[in-house]
A and B are shown apart, each in its own frame.
Chain A
């Protein structure tokens, strides 16, 4: 069994991490977008326990999200400069690429989604108005989940989006499902199950919910939520709990288990089926901002930087931002399955 090791990437970003993503497939490429206006490309060296900086791509403004395109040589970024492949009116929060449908979807604080067909760059993007500001976006093989303010969650059907985009007179399609988040607080992250069955959301109030796409009573009865990423406050501060936001969620591409990363600087592995926590890793020096499994599930990248907290007047992740890469043991992320 491969040993579980953890190492730190050389030359981390100079400011907070906004997103982090491994290239699809067995590629060892890791892209990290940062508030320091750069996107960093790292390559994990097999067996050497190191990740080297291959290149940086400077942007005009802080970069808020990054995703790979059709190949490990292609990537899309979204950021404060309103620009993806098309122009949004406000900073672009998230960008997601669906390899199955060759669609690039971006979500902006101007409360729209832009859907691009990457195979035909000349085609104008399809803009879909949203009822609220989007905060998180995730795609499964056939679904797209958008989490917005006011606890709104819209689920779009990707094939529908693709056909709407290619029709001669594109009309913004209606969401496949409209839901209210099962969490009472602002949604922080969304991740879809690789088996296309459901998704997980997390909120600023130390909680994660797992839901299923299927709109049947049985499937909906299966959904659940649980608390996590909390710490007991010391008695002298009045006791109680300190509740951290759950900043990042990522599903393991092979086992379907998922990792959550919180403002408390911990990463936990959960078995969504058995509803169990499998592991909780040692605390990181700062809050966990982003998580990503590699395409083959062998590595888990963890972006760590100070968390933005209520009442902060200024913020800088300078010098405190780090990228950790954990090489997982063979069964480390494997769930035991439902009881």
Chain B
């Protein structure tokens, strides 16, 4: 970092500072020659233009004197440096105080509980027990409701919002609870902010199933498995009963059904197949541009609209059927 002492500006690096100095302060206004220091400029003015330099251009009013020779950061008088540093430190504290006032965060190093600072929610053992009881009741109710033979391991998504109530096929946001959800000791840690685009073809970035996916208690919008057992199929929470849009049938309850569905689903699996094949062959998916296109396409397949979508009849055949282009042999004969 560099600072400038003719003015009060901070520079990221010394080179910039020097070029600033040369351009703003130590440039000869007669011929445009850029000198390194005020002294150098003074001598240049004297010798080349036969003039006396009286003050440094563009400098702060009290720093126009020629008596101090500054080059870069060298030669800056001590008192000015100290003044400057003090000003910076003061600015920092002012800013910090303002920020604390604005955000309500406690000063660093102090615990919360003072003034408007964040409050951490404490639960008494009774409260926790009550919540546990409620949760167990819900689990039991769900087990009773879920007639699809879902193994008990498939507990409802946390927070007790049953998937049946949850019309969306996507997992509800998972606020980060400070304690483990009771009853689901092995619940995979889900990032609270992860959202899924509402599309069948999409899959979370990274494309690899989350740890423990096969027993994941959430109705994940599974990407279509690539028509084979290449990827472990996701289980839908049967109680949820909601298939991602794009699937022609309701949530499959067996793996076989799921695989069959996936096999029926052509287009989505294609890209992924392709990507997997290419990855296996050690080929990066296309160039940077192509990879970008692939990625972008995957993520927002939702509104994908094909300009021409007939997979049996070509545009030419369609055009040929128009009266405008039709040709009847008799007419020409």
Interface residues of A (CB under 8 A from B): 16, 18, 35, 60-62, 64, 79-82, 91, 93, 109, 133, 135, 149-150, 184-186, 188, 204-206, 221-222, 224-228, 230, 232-233, 237-245, 263, 274-277, 307-310, 312, 314-316
A interface, by DSSP: helix, strand, loop or mixed?
loop
Q: Which of A91, A186, A241, A277 sits near B303, CB closer than 8 Å?
A: A241
The 8 Å CB contact of B307, one of A81, A225, A240, A245, is A245
Is B303 touching A310 in the complex (CB atoms < 8 A)? no
Asked if B297 is at the interface of the complex by the 8 Å CB criterion, the answer is yes
Chain A residue with the shortest CB-CB distance to B294: A227
Complex A-B, nearest 6 residue pairs according to Cβ-Cβ distance, in ascending order: A240-B303, A61-B327, A276-B287, A308-B315, A80-B327, A238-B303
Q: In the complex, which of the residues A79, A206, A308 has the most CB atoms of chain B within 10 Å of its own CB atom?
A: A308
Q: Is B319 an interface residue (CB 8 A)?
A: yes
Give the chain B neighbours of A205 by CB distance below 8 A. 267, 306
Chain B 33-52 residues near chain A, CB threshold 8 A: none
User: Are B289 and A245 touching (Cβ within 8 A)?
Assistant: no
| Nearest Cβ on chain A to B309's Cβ, whole angstroms | 5
Does B311 lie at the interface of the complex (its beta carbon under 8 Å from any beta carbon of A)?
A: yes
Q: Report A310 CB to chain B, min CB distance, Å.
A: 5
Contact check: which of A82, A109, A233, A308 meets B319 at CB < 8 Å?
A308
Q: Give which listed residue, A91, A149, A307, contacts B315 with CB less than 8 A.
A: A307
Contact with A along B213-229 (1 / 0, CB 8 A): 00000000000000000
Once the chains are docked, how many angstroms separate the CA of A277 from the CA of B274? 18
The verdict on B316 contacting chain A, using a C-beta distance below 8 Å, is yes
The answer on a CB contact under 8 Å between B315 and A62 is no
B293 CB–A CB distance under 8 Å: yes
- Which B residues touch A243, using CB under 8 A? 304-307
Question: What is the minimal beta-carbon distance from A15 to any residue of chain B, in angstroms?
Answer: 9
CA distance A310 to B320 in the complex (A): 14
**Does B127 make an interface contact (CB < 8 A)?**
no
Shortest C-beta distance, A151 to chain B (Å), equals 8
Once the chains bind, are A244 and B307 in contact (CB under 8 Å)?
yes
| Beta-carbon contact of B289 and A276 below 8 Å | yes
Q: Are A204 and B306 in contact (CB under 8 A)?
A: yes
- Is B290 in contact with A277, judged by CB distance below 8 angstroms? yes
Given A184-B267, A275-B290, does the pair A309, B308 have CB atoms closer than 8 Å?
Answer: yes
Chain A contacts for B305, CB-based, 8 A: 233, 240-243
Q: How far is the CB of A314 from chain B (nearest CB, A)?
A: 6
Q: Contact: A224 with B332, CB < 8 Å? A: no
Query: Which of A64, A80, A81 has the largest count of B CB atoms less than 10 A from its CB?
Result: A80
Contact indicator B302/A242 (Cβ below 8 Å): no
Q: Say whether, besides A233-B305, A240-B301, A240-B302, A315 and B322 are in contact (CB < 8 Å).
A: yes
